[in-house]
Structure 1
């Protein structure tokens, strides 16, 4: 087996290292952080595909942050919300939910600041991440948004990995296979 998977997005090509997570699962490791060119391209492409109106983008720490920043700019949104991976001292009335994701062997949580929860109450939300795979992170994010009174209008990502690429309820730019 090759040590890399070649990802093509438009005219951009990236060599993603293959990482064995366990004896039966290998993934192509997609790290958006630091790749300004790909982030900009993906945000422009996603913005042209999003037809539903929304008020705020909500993303998860950390790889979704640059995409949310760029997509907010492309779509004329002044603010976006980041769900953090732990409670921060500056947060007021944080809301915490456990999450499971295939790329993390340790228990994780997603945290919404109480002020962000108030801001999105009654608002239309675009959930955004770099990759949707098992859907665990997105499901937890969606529950946090809905518990705060927000209405998730659309879930979007750059890549849909494995079975997520068969879903009809998400928007994504390209499929990313899983490997045995």
Structure 2
């Protein structure tokens, strides 16, 4: 049976704009990311964290796409994720072929921890990556990868002051491909026998 933490996870675009994320809660969420597995225990991830009302949050909001500026600022925190792309600034040698995969695992851990605390996470890619690297002095051997909105989901009806497209998306039912579409055995495209 699927854990409710995953079943009830949503990529919400409607956040409670009054919710304040306590330092201890944020630390616990990032601690979950810290304990994610990684190739060779390389832990090739970093996070830039902005809490609503601070300068980092405001700077991240300025870098967001117009669409993401419509909803993300209400989140209690906005994070930028980074992965180590090379061994150091003087080398173009890939740090790890699996660094982005490892970052994804760290974000997944973070997401489940947040959900266990009654919070929701929405990941996004719509922002000025180069601008973020420059604004936050990201070293050349690190790559700004994705953004994360984190906070307490708003209640039904709180989306009324958001653009119509956000309201429509916030009401869309969740859907997923059936296992038969992506679990194979024998050869690619053949649904695994155990699926029936």
TM-score by length of 2: 0.30
Higher CA-based Rg = 2
Normalized per residue, which structure has more strand? 1
